[in-house]
Amino acid sequence: MNRELSIGILGGGQLGMMLCQASKEIGINTHIYCPDEDSPAKHYSNKFTCKDYLNEKEIINFSNSVDIITYEFENIPKETLELINDNKLRPGIKSLEQTQDRLIERKLLEKLNIPYAPYKELNDEEDFNYSISNFGDAIIKTRRFGYDGKGQISVNQKTNFDKNISSLFNQSIIEKKIPFEFEFSQVSCRDIFGNVFHFPLTRNIHENHILKHSYAPLDLPNDLEEYAREITKKIISDLDHVGVLTVEFFKTKENILVNEIAPRVHNSGHWTIEGCSSSQFKVHMQAVSGIKIIQPKLLNECHMVNLIGDEINDWINKKSDSDVNIHLYHKNEIKNGRKMGHLTYIKDKNIL
């Protein structure tokens, strides 16, 4: 038998942690590289390097120590990925480049003829005035480094233009606030042979711009489900992406719009650990290892709840049972708005 593959993961948060847990089950060794000692993933990886992303020598050593490198979040500096041989990096640099900047992401959607919310680049006061008079309620979003609603400000025609807004010029977009019916996401995976498969759709509820609940599977009328999959397939294929990619959607009265592309495993796919025959984490590690992916089967209807900030205190000493699965992220510090763990309730067992 071949020796075990060794896969390096850039980023050591809870997504990295669950990638490491899945890897253990399928016989893959993991090496986490992340700049933060308080890293959920370090408790489960075979190796852990705590160094800065821009430390060239350490990135090269890391790259030499593994067979393949993947990433668990999109805010890794592009310079870091440029130090890694293209053949070793899955997904490739294109997936990160096209999605870590909201303006470039929207241009990609435009190129692919995929619907998204009306927006404008925010470069001067005129852009601001134009947007609030044409969009009504709007959201200013920083182009880069936003997550969990960070870097977003809600504005409308009553908002006074001031320094807080002008300080965001040349690094933000301003987008129409969409009166959506609900939000949902499509988690999909592409293998090195170009095969794409889709997990069941998930309905998502955000509180204070942070994902709070996911319900799966979501039942959408057949033509819309087909359309969401077609959109996701277009994106994942255009990027030559290898591994899991997630598309977040708004369902409006008339249509569906893409809100965001995440070139990685996603919080709205956590339920697949218990809900499917293979989780988003396993199939990601298999896909980046070069294994042909088999379509996972839906096993259970699930409801995932994020534990945010001090909500974790109610669950630290509890044990999972047949109804609820408790996932703790082992973060040292509890902060307001920080994802500390999640619960997955199995609603209907063996629905298929």
Contact string (CB under 5 A) for Mg ion, positions 293-332, x = contact: ----------------------------------------
CB of 144 to ligand ATP, least distance (A): 11
User: Are 283 and 246 a contacting pair, CB within 8 Å?
Assistant: no
Q: Name the nearest CA neighbour of 225 among 184, 278, 179.
A: 184
Question: What DSSP designation does 56 have?
Answer: H
Q: Binding Mg ion by CB under 5 A: which of 101, 105, 260, 274?
A: 260
Judge contact between 88 and 63, C-beta under 8 A: yes
In this chain, which of 260, 283, 341, 346 binds ligand ATP, going by CB under 6 A?
A: 260
Identified binder of ligand ATP from the candidate list 198, 206, 233, 338, rule CB under 6 A: 206
Min dist CB 188 to ligand ATP, Å, is 16
The end-to-end CA distance of the chain, in Å, is 35
Nearest to 214 by CA among 150, 287, 274: 274
Closer residue to ligand ATP, CB minimum distance, 72 or 191: 72
Rounded to an integer, what distance in angstroms lies between the CA atom of residue 156 and that of residue 249? Answer: 23
The listed partner (ligand ATP, Mg ion, none) that binds 274, CB under 5 to 8 Å by sort, is none
Q: Shortest Cβ distance from residue 175 to ligand ATP (Å)?
A: 5
* Cα(233)–Cα(255) distance, integer angstroms: 18
CB of 259 to Mg ion, least distance (A): 6
Closest listed residue to residue 242, CA positions, set 184, 284, 201, 305: 284
Q: Does the footprint of Mg ion cover residue 274 (CB under 5 A)?
A: no
Q: Which is nearer to Mg ion, 8 or 269 (CB)?
A: 269
Among 238, 297, 226, 308, CA closest to 267: 308
For residues 346 and 344, give the distance between their C-alpha atoms in angstroms, rounded to a whole number.
6
Beta pairing class for 29-33 and 6-10: parallel
- Residue 51 phi/psi, 5° resolution? -145, 165
Residue 23 vs 100, nearer CB to ligand ATP: 100
Q: What is the DSSP letter of 336?
A: T
For the bound state, the minimum distance from the C-beta of residue 148 to ligand ATP, rounded and expressed in Å, comes to: 5
> 183 or 191, CB closer to ligand ATP?
183
Candidate list 88, 144, 209, 233; residue touching ligand ATP; CB under 6 A: 209
Report how far Cα 239 is from the mean position of its chain's Cα atoms. Answer: 16
Judged by CB under 6 A, the residue of 146, 192, 196, 324 near ligand ATP is 146
Closest distance between ligand ATP and the C-beta of residue 339, in Å? 10
Adjacent-strand bridge partners of 122: 172
Asked if 259 is part of the footprint of ligand ATP (rule: CB under 6 A), the reply reads yes
Instruction: Pick one of 101, 183, 191, 225: the residue that binds ligand ATP (CB under 6 A).
Output: 183
Segments of the chain assigned E as strands: 6-10, 29-33, 47-49, 68-71, 119-122, 138-142, 152-155, 172-176, 182-190, 196-198, 202-207, 210-216, 243-251, 256-262, 301-308, 324-328, 339-348
By beta-carbon proximity to Mg ion, the closer residue of 204 and 325 is 204
Tell me which residues in 116-135 interact with ligand ATP (CB under 6 A). 117
Q: Which does 297 bind (CB under 5 to 8 A by kind): ligand ATP, Mg ion, none?
A: none
| Residue 140 lies near ligand ATP (rule: CB under 6 A) | no
Asked whether position 212 contacts ligand ATP by CB under 6 A, the answer is: no
Q: Contact residues for Mg ion (CB under 5 A)? A: 248, 260
Q: Contact residues for ligand ATP (CB under 6 A)? A: 117, 139, 141, 146-150, 175, 177-178, 183, 206, 209, 211, 248, 259-260
